[in-house]
Amino acid sequence: MSRVGKNPVMIPQGVEVSVNGQTVKIKGKLGEQSMEIHDDVTVAMEEIEGKKAVRLKAANDSPMALKIWPTMRVLVKNMIIGVSEGYTKKMDIKGVGYRANLQGTDLVLQLGYSHEIRYKIPAGIKVVVADQVGLTVTGIDKQLVGQVAANIRSYRPPEPYKGKGIRYTDEYVLRKEGKKK
């Protein structure tokens, strides 16, 4: 039995959850998300100690149902957190001449290449550029926020000798010693 899956997902104030068959719709102050739950998992609304909650259970004892059940629970929890609080990834750009700017819905990166890189920001994601070397990626979808941040970082990941490149603010870059004479 899953230790993660057996816990109910508590619904905070200001968040509305509706379950229609295998479809879960979640609406909060930051937006709305919906997801189709796997057929091997059952979804039900409950009231626990006067608070509303979503409980997910494995529909049967098949290995697939026991594996997918906690995953679906975590995805529902992530959607609830996303519509109520949102997700944020902070990034730093290190290097001489490396900088970023916003032009409409494009993020323009100058990262030491002979050309500038234009990254089209997807819908539902907000990117804020602070003093040309700090980026903040925010949104309600945890997977999309992480993927956008990873895509931006992939244009120039931090290198180990001087530490130049795009890195997450809380990321530690292992530095190597240079060549000795």
The CATH number covering residue 63 comes to: 3.90.930.12
pLDDT (0 to 100) of residue 140 = 94
- Write down the pLDDT at residue 180: 85
- Tell me how many domains the chain contains: 2
* Residue 25 sits in the same domain as residue 77: yes
Give the per-residue pLDDT at 154.
95
Residues 80 and 134 in one domain: no
Range of the domain at 56: 9-84
Q: What is the pLDDT along the chain (181 residues), one digit of tens a residue?
A: 667 788 899 999 999 999 998 899 999 999 999 999 999 999 999 898 888 999 999 989 899 988 999 999 999 999 999 999 999 999 999 999 999 999 999 999 999 999 999 999 999 999 999 999 999 999 999 999 999 999 999 999 999 999 899 999 999 999 999 888 7
Check whether residue 98 and residue 146 sit in a common domain: yes
User: Are 113 and 157 contained in the same domain?
Assistant: yes
> Alpha-carbon distance 77 to 11, whole Å?
9
Asked which of 56, 84, 112 is the last residue of a domain, the reply is 84
Q: Smallest Cα–Cα separation from 5: which of 86, 94, 67, 64?
A: 67
Domain end call among 47, 66, 84: 84
* Per-residue pLDDT, 168: 95
Cα–Cα distance measured from residue 28 to residue 112, given in angstroms and rounded to the nearest whole number:
41
- Last-in-domain residue among 25, 56, 84: 84
Nearest to 2 by CA among 53, 74, 52: 74
Say if residue 119 is in the same domain as residue 152.
Answer: yes
Residue 1: per-residue pLDDT: 61
Statement to judge: residues 42 and 91 lie in one domain: no
